[in-house]
Structure 1
Amino acid sequence: MKFLADNKRTLDALNNWVPNPIILSSFFWGAGNVDQRSIDGLLCSLLHQLLKAEPGLGPQLLTRYPEWTDRATYHDWSNKELETALFLAWDLPTRTASLSSLLPAAEAGIQGSMQTMHF
């Protein structure tokens, strides 16, 4: 999966489908800390990449959920809030494609959450 996410040919192929695509990727690391193999870590990573690539999405999200401005670290976010932010940002006009590696080291809840994402 990492090869696909990092390979220029993937970007070129996606460019035929969506002009100037953004590739979001997140990989679980079995030897890593809990955050590196959790659904929260996955959601934070994807949301961070999306907001970094499309800075205009941040203000749009905060307009809808002004209480999110109080979040100082990712530990201040609930899983549901992270899902809401990611899915809302995903639905706003953007140019994203996502590749995720779903390893068994992830939390039990990941499969249900990932099934709700439409890649």
Structure 2
Amino acid sequence: MALGDLEWKLVYVSSAYNPALDQTLDSILVGPIPVGRHQFSFEANAPDPKIIPNEDIVGVTVVLIQALYRDKEFIRVGYYVNNEYKTEELRLEPPAEPLLNEVRSFE
């Protein structure tokens, strides 16, 4: 017996205060899936920084992995991501406009 396709989504939360800014980094269909244990790798490009509000470029956000079956979400896993400046100088005195090439992420 096999289940139908599962849809997997990778979503970057651009702003905790505005879900309309969430970015779906990728979405794939996997299946049909026979009953049992399975695994796969899911990679995507980075989020578009132009969509992220300047005040949310640096700080903690979330990357979500969502699984849907027949268009109904049945699992959602979130990973915290901390975006911060590479140097202590910029961390202590951040610029008014974010310097994207100076930001790094930690999971």
Shared fold (TM-score, shorter chain, > 0.5): no
Q: Which has the higher helix share?
A: 1
Return the structure number with greater relative CO, CA threshold 8 A, min gap 6.
1
Q: State TM-score, norm by structure 2.
A: 0.27
Q: State TM-score, norm by structure 1.
A: 0.26
